[in-house]
Structure 1
Amino acid sequence: MDLQDQLKNLFPDHIEEEKPETADAAGGIWMQDDPILCKYEKRKGKPITILDGYTGATEDFKILAKEIKTTLSVGGSFKDDKIIIQGDYRDKIMAMLKAKGFNVKRVGG
Structure 2
Amino acid sequence: MCRRGKEGKAVAKMNAGGLVYSTEHGRMCPVCRQALAQCECGKAAAPAGDGIARVSRETKGRGGKAVTVVKGLPLVGEALAKLGKQLRTRCGSGGTVKDGVLEIQGDHVEIVLAELIKLGYKTKKAGG
Q: For this structure pair, what is the TM-score category when the shorter chain's length is used for normalisation? A: 0.5 to 0.7
Does the Cα contact within 8 Å between 1:68 and 1:93 map onto a contact in 2?
A: yes
Q: Secondary structure at the match of 2:66?
A: strand
**Structure 2 partner of 1:19:** none
1:40 matched to 2:60: no
**Structure 2 partner of 1:23:** none
Query: Structure 2 CA distance, aligned partners of 1:60 and 1:102?
Result: 14
Query: Structure 1 CA distance, aligned partners of 2:75 and 2:110?
Result: 23
How far 1:86 moved relative to its partner? 0.6
- Larger fraction in helix: 1
Which runs of 5 or more structure 1 residues have no equivalent in the other structure?
1-31
Query: Structure 2 CA distance, aligned partners of 1:70 and 1:56?
Result: 19
* Greater Cα radius of gyration, structure 1 or 2: 2
Does the Cα contact within 8 Å between 2:58 and 2:66 map onto a contact in 1?
A: yes
Does the Cα contact within 8 Å between 1:33 and 1:103 map onto a contact in 2?
A: no
How far 1:84 moved relative to its partner? 0.5
Between 1 and 2, higher relative CO (CA 8 Å, sep ≥ 6) is seen in 1
**Structure 1 partner of 2:119:** 100
Write the letter of the residue equivalent to 1:57: V
1:70 matched to 2:89: yes
Write the letter of the residue equivalent to 2:80: F
Runs of 4+ in 1 over 4 A off after TM superposition: none
Which runs of 5 or more structure 2 residues have no equivalent in the other structure?
1-48
Query: Structure 1 CA distance, aligned partners of 2:74 and 2:83?
Result: 13
How far 1:55 moved relative to its partner? 3.0
**What is the RMSD of the two structures over their aligned residues, measured on CA atoms?**
1.6
Query: Structure 2 CA distance, aligned partners of 1:101 and 1:46?
Result: 29
**Structure 1 partner of 2:17:** none
Paired residues, what number? 78
Residue identity over aligned pairs, in percent, reads: 32
TM-score relative to the length of structure 2: 0.57
